[in-house]
Amino acid sequence: MAETMSGAAAGKKRLTAADVVPGASTARAGKLGGNPYLPEICTVREIIQETPNIRTFRLTFDDPEVQKSFSFLPGQVGQFGVFGVGESSFAITSRPSETEYIQFSVMKAGEVTSAIHQLSLGDKAGVRAPMGCGFPVEAWKGKRILYVMGGIGSAALKATIEYTIEHRVDYEGISILYGATAPENFTYQYDIDQWQKRDDIDLTLTIDRECDGWQCDVGLVPHVLERMNPTPENTIAITCGPPIMIKFALMSFKKLGFSDEQTYTTLEKRMKCGIGICGRCNVGPKYVCVDGPVFSLAELRELPDEL
């Protein structure tokens, strides 16, 4: 019995990354025969100070061929790092249709992010992207999409929000609930302004504690979510934010009648290789770097509780 077991995989077709990761075929990171560990050199073109500790970096690939052929799916991540310090996984926050640059939003927290924050215009950095699986945005066509996010969690959903807005006609509705601790901690203020102007996007902003001059909601994201009382019918709920927010948001979705299949989140883990080899980012048998970071709640229920 064991004989057949160990022999079985040997007969399997050797897949290329392109077979697995949608959209990866265009990026060098996924090319079979190429070196998936080798980052593309990028140049920092623009730095946006989003909040006191979050900056957004717009980068261009130094190799024009790579820049031209680069594409990714909303929800996919990239390994962005500084040579000499290391790299980390970040969600790609540029629009999927953007061809001029690739964008990451980084909160200053540890060693790599601190080094990234020290980058200035014209500096070189390394990027390996895209990686992981994106959101099944194609399958969601015709549905209402509800984004529930907090703090830097917006980065993980930014590309997806932009994608659905660009393809607004394909979706029945778009609702965004975005919470932050204080007004100055909202990222993408410039885009939020745009979203607010559109009447085909239902945007709710909330802060944890009341403060002067604040016009929108006040309250923790899960509470506001329950007050909003969205209908689960024909709706996909996506949440990302601090772990504690995700936990309570998922409970709220449950209360509101959302099924596990309707609810999505993206996970974060310590990662090194980013390509499912080095072993550390597993949750049970799933690697967050290649099987994720996007998981539906139904998929998460199958996994051991080791988040």
Binding residues among 149-178 for other proteins as defined by CB under 8 A: none
CA-CA distance, 263 to 236, in Å (whole number)?
6
Residue 168 or 301: the one with the smaller Cβ distance to other proteins is 301
Cα→Cα distances 155→32, 146, 159, 188, 235, Å: 29, 16, 8, 9, 22
Residue 21 or 297: the one with the smaller Cβ distance to other proteins is 21
Residue 109 or 211: the one with the smaller Cβ distance to other proteins is 109
CA-CA distance, 271 to 115, in Å (whole number)?
17
Burial of residue 77 (CB within 10 Å: 0-12, 13-18, 19+) is: buried
What residue type is assigned to position 225 of the chain? L
| Residue 254-283 contact track with other proteins, rule CB under 8 A, x = bound | --------------xxx-xx-xxxxxxxxx
Residue 125 or 148: the one with the smaller Cβ distance to other proteins is 125
Decide if residue 14 touches other proteins (CB under 8 A).
yes
Judged by CB under 8 A, the residue of 64, 65, 120, 229 near other proteins is 120
Decide if residue 100 touches other proteins (CB under 8 A).
no
What are the b/e assignments for 181-190, b being 16+ CB within 10 Å?
A: eebebbbbee
Decide if residue 89 touches other proteins (CB under 8 A).
no
- The candidate with the shortest Cα–Cα distance to 207, out of 230, 176, 184, is 184
What are the beta bridge partners of residue 18?
A: none
Judged by CB under 8 A, the residue of 20, 182, 251, 298 near other proteins is 20
Decide if residue 30 touches other proteins (CB under 8 A).
yes
| Residue 199-238 contact track with other proteins, rule CB under 8 A, x = bound | ----------------------------------------
Cα→Cα distances 192→97, 123, 162, Å: 19, 29, 11
Decide if residue 198 touches other proteins (CB under 8 A).
no
Q: Which stretch binds other proteins (CB under 8 A): 35-43, 134-142, 209-217, 228-236?
A: 35-43
CA-CA distance, 130 to 253, in Å (whole number)?
30
Residue 6 or 229: the one with the smaller Cβ distance to other proteins is 6
Decide if residue 121 touches other proteins (CB under 8 A).
yes
Residue count, binding to other proteins (CB under 8 A): 74
Decide if residue 192 touches other proteins (CB under 8 A).
no
Q: Would you say 119 and 57 are in contact if contact means Cβ atoms under 8 Å apart?
A: yes
Decide if residue 113 touches other proteins (CB under 8 A).
yes
Alpha helices of 48-152 — where are they, by DSSP H? Answer: 64-69, 111-117
Residue 224 or 300: the one with the smaller Cβ distance to other proteins is 300
